[in-house]
Structure 1
Amino acid sequence: MLTLLHLLSAVSLLVWGTHIVRTGIMRVYGSDLRRVLSRSVERKPLAFVAGIGVTALVQSSNATALLVTSFVAQGLVALSPALVIMLGADVGTALMARVLTFDLSWLSPLLIFAGVTFFLSRKQTRLGQMGRVAIGLGLILLALELIVSAATPITQASGVKVLFSSLTGDTLLDALTGAIFAIVSYSSLAAVLLTATLTATGVISLKVSLCLVIGANFGSGLLAMINASKQNAAGRRVALGSLLFKLVGCVVVLPFVGLLAEQMERLPVADEELVIYFHMFYNLVRCLVMIPLAGPMARLCQTMLADIPEEDPRLSPRYLDISALDTPSLALANAARETLRMGDVVEHMLVLNREVMHGKFAQEREVRRLDDDVDVLYTAIKLYLAQMQKEDLGEADSRRWAEIIEMALNLEQAGDIIERMTGDIAAKSHAVQRAFSPAGMEELDTLHERLVGNLRLSLSVFLSSDITSAKRLRRSKHRFRILDRRYAHAHVDRLHQQNVQSIETSSLHLGLLGDMKRLNSLFCTVAYNVLDQDERDDDRMADEAI
C-alpha cells in the first residue's frame, strides 16, 4: 500500500510540476503567447508551428487548448486555423515527452534550488516568476525519477501482474484504459510516461503499450471537451474537432497495432524507448495528415454544434476569459472591460430614469430589468477576480485589482439607487397624478445631465487613470454638491411661496436630490483613488531623492 501511495504521489507531483510551469510561463509571457497564437492564423504551417512552440513552453496541450477555445469563443480566431493550432499542440506535447525521458537527474536539484532562491527573494518580479518555472521543471524531472522507482516494486507483485495481464489481446479495452489513465492523471504526458515505465519492467507487452498510448491521446481530447464545456458553441467546436481528429487516428491505427508492434520489436531499441518514439511519431504523422482536413472538419463541427441564440446577451459577461487568469495583466484588463460594460448599463438606467421623471412610467420595468443585469455582471466580475491569486500579484496589479472591485461595487450600489429612485417616482407621481413644478423639473434635469456626464468621466478616469481627468472629475463633484444644495434651498423657497406642485411633490423632490448626491459620490470615488496614488508616488520619489 505504501509503495502504491508513493507511485500516486509521484504522478501527482508530475501533474503539479506541469501546472507550475504553465502558470509561471503564462504570467511572464502570457500576453506574448496569446499574441503569437492570434497572429499565426493566416497560414496553416505557421499556426501548426505556433501550436508546437506554445505547448512546448507551457508543458501542456490542455493549456493551449484552453487558450485557443477562448479565442474562438470570443470571435478572435476562426475555427479552421484553431484546429491546426490544436494539431500542433498534440505534436508539442509528444516532443516534450521525448525530452523529459532523457537522463536529467542531475538537473532536477539544481533547478529546484535556483528556482526557490529566485522565487522567494524576488517573488513579484519577472525573475521571480521564472524561478517558479524552474521549480516546476525540477519537480517534473524529480517526479519522473520517483515514478520509475515506485513502479518497479509494484510491477513485481503477482496481483499486479494478473491485473495487467487482462489488458492483453483486447485492443479496444487497452485503448480505453489508456484514455482513463490520461483523464485520471489530467495529463496524457503522465499516462504515456507511466506506460513506458510499465513496458520497461515487462509487466505489459509492447502491443498493449501502443494501445495505451493511442488511448491516452484520445483521453486528452476528452479532457479538452470537459474543459470547454462551459464555453459557448464556438469554443466547444474547437475541442470537438480536436477530439474527432484523435478519434480518426484511433480508428485508423488500432487495427494495425499488432503488426506495428511486431515490426517495432525487431528494432535494436529498448521497449520503453519504443513507446516514447511511437507516441512522438504517431502524433506527428497523424497531425500532418490531418492539417489539410482542418477546413472540412470545421464545417462538420459547425453542423454538429449549431449556435444557440441567447435570449438576452446582456445577462452574461462577455470579456471574463477564464484562460487569462494565469496572466494577471490580461485578466485585470478583461475585468476592467466588463466593469466598463457595467457602467454602460448604469448609464442606460439613468437615461430611462429621466424618462420616468417626465411621465413615461412604463420604463420602470425596464429599469428593474437592467438593475438585474448590473447585479449579474457585478457577481461575475467579483467571482472572476476572486479566482486570481492575490499573493502572486505585483504592487501595481494588486492596486488595479482593488480599483476594479471598488468600481464594480460602486456601480452595483448605483444601480440599486437608480432602481429605487425610479420606483419612488412611479409610485408617488403616477399613482396620484402629481407632477413636478416646471422650475423643479428643470433643476432635476440639470442635475441629471451633470450626473450622466460625471459617470462618463468617471469611467474614463477608471480606464486611463489620467491625473488631469481625475482632477476635473473632483471639481465636477464639488460643483455638483454646490448645485444640489442650491436647488434644495430653491425648493424650500417655492414651498414658502405656497407653490402647490412643489408642496405635493416635496418629499419626492428632496429624496431625489439626496439620491442624486449619493450617486455622484459613488461615481467620483475613482478620482480620489487616482489622485491619492499620484500623491503617494510623488512622496516616494521625494524620499528617494533625499
Structure 2
Amino acid sequence: MASTLVLIDLLGAAALLLLGLRLLKSGVSTALGARLRQFLASSTRNRLTAFGAGLLTTLALQSSTAMAVIVSSFVAQGLVAPAMAQAVMLGANVGTAVVAQILSFDIHWLAPITILLGVIVGSRKSRRSRGLGEIGIGIGLMLLSLRLMSEATEPMRESEALVAFFALLSDAPVIAIGLSAALAAVSASSLAVVLFIMSLAAAGSIGHELCLLLVAGANVGGALPPVFATASEGTAARRVVISNLAVRGAGAMVLLLIAGWLTDHLPASVNLAQLTIEAHLAFNVGLALVFLPVIGPMSRLLTRLFPDKPTAKDTGPRHLDEALISDPPSALAAAMRETLRVGDLIEKMLEISLVALRTNDEHLCRSVSQLDDEVDAVHQAIKLYLARIERTGMDEAARRQSSNILDYAINLEHAGDITERSLSRLTVKKIEKQLQYSPEGMSEIEDLFRDTIDNLQLAQRVFINRDAQIARRLMEGKVTIRRKERASVERHMSRLQDQRPDTLQTTSLHVDVLRDLKRINGHLMSVAAPILEEAGMLRASRLRKG
C-alpha cells in the first residue's frame, strides 16, 4: 500500500510538472508569440545568430519541441534556410538544457509567489495580461511539482523492488535508453523527463551509468514528437525535425559506448542529481560544438536522402521561377501568370459549385474544398514570391504593379474562401436536409452564378490588359449584380407571402446564396478600382453633394 501511495504521489507530481510546462508555453505564445516568431525569422542570417536565436527563443518557450515545429514551418514557407534551421535546433536543444539547469536550483520557495502573481495579473481582461498570468502560474506549478517530486522519491531508497528494477535497467542499457525515450515522447517534453530523472537520482535510486543513459534517452525521445507533428508539412519541414532526431540519436549512440568509461572516471562522491543536469547540458553543448560547423554538408546530405517529392502537374505554383527574383520585371510577369491561374481555379470552383447545386452531388462539394486548398497554397506562394523580389531594382511603376498583383491575389483568395466555406456548405446543408429550391428561385440563383462567372472572366481580362474601358464595364456589372440580387430577394419574399412550401423550406439558403455571390462579385470588382482611379473615371464617393 505504501509503495502504491508513493507511485501515485510521483505520478501526480509529474503530471503537475507537465501542466505547468504547458501553461508556461501557452502563456509565452499568447503574450510574446508574435514577437518571438519575428525575432526568430529575422535572426537566421548566419549559423551563430541562428544558434543564438534558437537558444534565446527556447529559454522563453521552455520547449525545444515547440521550437522544432515553429522553425520547420518557417522552412516550409521559405522564410528560413534549411541549414540555418539546423543551427536554430542546436541552439534550442542547448536552451532546454539551460532551463533544466535553472530549475535544478533550490528555488521552490518562489512557487507560491509566482502563482499568486500569475493569478493577479491573469485576472485582467487583456490578452497579453492573460498570457503573462499563465507564465507566472506555469512557473509556480513547475517549481511546486519539483518539490513534490523530491518528497515523493525519498521513500524509494528503502524500496527493494525499485532497487532491483533499476539494477536490471543498468544491465540493459539499450532498454534504459528506449524507456526514457518513450517517456519523453509520450510527455512531449525531454525537459520534464530530465527533471524526473534528477529526482530519482537525488533519491539515490539510480547509479552513475544509468543516469547518463536515461538522460541520453530523454534527449532522443524529445525529438520524436516534432517528427509526427510535421508529417503533413512537406519534405522541407520534415528534413529539419528528422535531422534533429538524427543528431540526438548519434549523440545517444556515442554516450552508450562511452558511458562506462565516463563513470569509471567520476568521483564516487559526485552529486547524482547535479550530474543529471550537467550531463544534459554537456550532451547538447557537445552536439552543438560537433555539428554546428558542418550544418551545410549535413543539410545537403539530408536533401539527397529525403528529396522533394515531385508535385503533380496540376498542383502547386507553376510559374514562380526563383531564378527570376533578381530581375523584377520578369519576376512580376511570372507572378501575374500565377495569379491568373488562381483566377482560373476560382472559376472552376464556381462552375463545380453550380453543378453540385443542380445535381445535389456532395462529392462535388468535397472537390471544391480540395480546389480551395490549392488556391490557398498558390496564394501563399505568390505572397512570399513578391516579398522576395529585389526591391532595389524596382521603380515606382513596378512597385505599384507588385501591389496590384498582391491585391488581386488576395481578393481572389477571399472569393475562394466564400465559395468553399459558405456556398459549398450551403449546398451540403441543402443535400442533407433534402430540400429543393422553387423552380423560379433556382433559375434566379443560376442566373446570378453565370453573371458571376462572366464577371470573373472579365476581371481576368482587366488584370492582364489594364484597359480602362473594360474596367468600366466590369464596374458597371456591379450595379447589375446588385439590382438582380435585390429583385430576386423581392420575388422570393413574394413567394413567401404566397406560402409556397418549397420557398418556405429554403428561404434562408436562397438569401444566403445570393448574398455570397454578391460578396464574390465585390471582390472581383476590386481589380478595376485602381485603373479607373488612375484614368479619372472613378468618383471618390457615391454620396450626392450637399
**Corresponding residue for 2:128?**
126
Alignment check: 8 A CA contact 1:342 1:374 kept: no
What does residue range 114-513 of structure 1 map to in structure 2 within 5 Å?
114-120=117-123, 122-265=124-267, 269-311=270-312, 344=343, 347-349=346-348, 372-376=366-370, 408=417, 411-414=420-423, 449-450=454-455, 480-482=481-483
Q: In the alignment, which residue of structure 1 is the partner of 2:103?
A: 100
**Cα pair 1:52 1:92 within 8 Å, conserved:** yes
Does residue 4 of structure 2 align to residue 4 of structure 1?
Answer: no
Question: Hey, what's the Cα distance between the residues in 2 that align with 1:303 and 1:57?
Answer: 34
Would you say how many aligned residue pairs link Structure 1 and Structure 2? 411
Distance in 2 of aligned mates of 1:45 and 1:484: 60
Sort the Cα spacing of 1:302 and 1:274 in 2 relative to 1 into closer, same or farther, 3 A.
same
Secondary structure of the equivalent of 2:266?
Answer: helix
- CA offset digits 1:337-387 (Å, max 9, x no partner): xxx99995774238869xx9xxxx9xx99x999864432477999xxxxxx
Give the distance between the partners of 1:109 and 1:115, measured in 2 at CA.
Answer: 10
Q: Does the alignment pair 1:77 with 2:80?
A: yes
Sequence identity percentage = 31
CA contact (8 A) 1:454 1:524 kept: no
Does 2:520 align with 1:523? yes
1:291-321 Cα deviation digits (max 9, x unpaired): 01211221222122222223377599xxxxx
| Secondary structure of residue in 2 paired with 1:62 | helix
Q: Distance in 1 between matches of 2:155 and 2:488?
A: 86
Q: In the alignment, is the contact (CA less than 8 A) between 1:188 and 1:220 conserved in 2?
A: yes
**Cα contact 2:14–2:149 (8 A) shared by 1:** yes
Distance 2:452 2:487 in 1: 11
Report the CA distance between 1:200 and its aligned residue. Answer: 1.8
Amino acid at match of 1:235: A
In structure 2, the CA distance between the partners of 1:206 and 1:343, relative to structure 1 (3 Å rule), is same
Q: Deviations over 1:396-435 (max 9, x none)?
A: xxxxxxxx9999456544458999xxxxxxxxxxxxxxxx
1:47 — aligned with what? 50
8 Å CA contact 1:84–1:294 kept in 2: the answer is yes
For residues 93 and 456 of structure 1, the distance between their equivalents in structure 2, rounded to whole angstroms, comes to 55
Summarize the Cα distance change of 1:380–1:311 in structure 2 as closer, same or farther, 3 Å threshold: closer
Distance 2:167 2:41 in 1: 47
Rounded to whole Å, the distance in 2 between the matches of 1:301 and 1:108 is 44
SS in 2 for 1:76: coil
For the residues of structure 2 that align with 1:342 and 1:189, how far apart are their CA atoms?
47
Alignment partners' CA distance in 1, 2:316 and 2:182:
37
Cα separation, partners in 2 of 1:342 and 1:451, compared to 1, 3 Å:
closer
Alignment check: 8 A CA contact 2:118 2:134 kept: yes
Cα distance between partner residues in 1 of 2:109 and 2:141: 12
1:206, distance to aligned residue in structure 2 (A): 1.0
2:189 maps to a residue whose letter is S
Q: Supply the distance in 1 between the matched residues of 2:475 and 2:22 (Cα, whole angstroms).
A: 45
Give 3-state SS (helix, strand or coil) of 1:166's partner: helix
What's the CA shift string for 1:241-299, capped at 9, x where partnerless?
11111122122232211221232325x64221122112112211221221012112212
What TM-score, normalized to structure 1?
0.65
CA distance in 1, matches of 2:154, 2:414: 52
Q: 1:341 to 1:135 in 2, by over 3 A?
A: farther
Give the Cα–Cα distance (whole angstroms) in 1 for the partners of residues 78 and 170 of structure 2: 46
**Equivalent pair of 2:90/2:292 in contact (CA under 8 Å):** yes
Seen in structure 2, the aligned counterparts of structure 1 residues 407 and 130 have a Cα distance that, compared at 3 Å, is farther
- For 2:44, what is the secondary structure of its paired residue? coil
Cα drift, residue 26 of structure 1: 1.2
Decide whether the 8 Å contact of 1:477 with 1:520 is kept in 2.
Answer: no
Q: Secondary structure at the match of 1:308?
A: coil
1:8-28 CA-partner distances (Å, limit 9, x unpaired): 121111112111111111122
Superposition deviation, residue 65 in structure 1: 0.5
Distance in 2, Cα, partners of 1:487 & 1:32:
49
Q: For the residues of structure 2 that align with 1:211 and 1:515, how far apart are their CA atoms?
A: 63
Alignment check: 8 A CA contact 1:15 1:186 kept: no
C-alpha distance in 2 between matches for 1:305 and 1:215:
25
- The CA distance in 2 between the partners of 1:418 and 1:232, in whole Å, is 32
Which whole-Å CA distance do the structure 2 matches of 1:516 and 1:97 have between them?
A: 56
Helix, strand or coil at the partner of 1:297: helix
Change (3 A) 1:278 1:522: same
- Preserved contact between residue 47 and residue 87 of structure 2 (Cα < 8 Å): yes
Q: Give the aligned partner of residue 334 of structure 1.
A: none
Please, which moves more after superposition, 148-157 or 87-96?
Answer: 148-157
- Long gaps (5+) in structure 2: 318-338, 376-412, 429-446, 463-473, 490-509, 524-546
| Post-superposition offset of 1:218 | 1.3
- Say which SS state the counterpart of residue 106 (structure 1) adopts: helix
Tell me: CA distance 1:345–1:14, structure 2 relative to 1, closer, same or farther (3 Å). farther
Q: Deviations over 1:493-527 (max 9, x none)?
A: xxxxxxxxxxxxxxxxxxxx99995553453799x
Of 70-79 and 344-353, deviating more is 344-353
Check 1:516–1:21 CA distance in 2 against 1; reply closer, same or farther (3 A cut): closer
Cα RMSD, aligned residues only? 4.5
Structure 1 unaligned residues grouped into runs of 5+: 317-339, 382-403, 420-441, 458-472, 489-512, 527-546
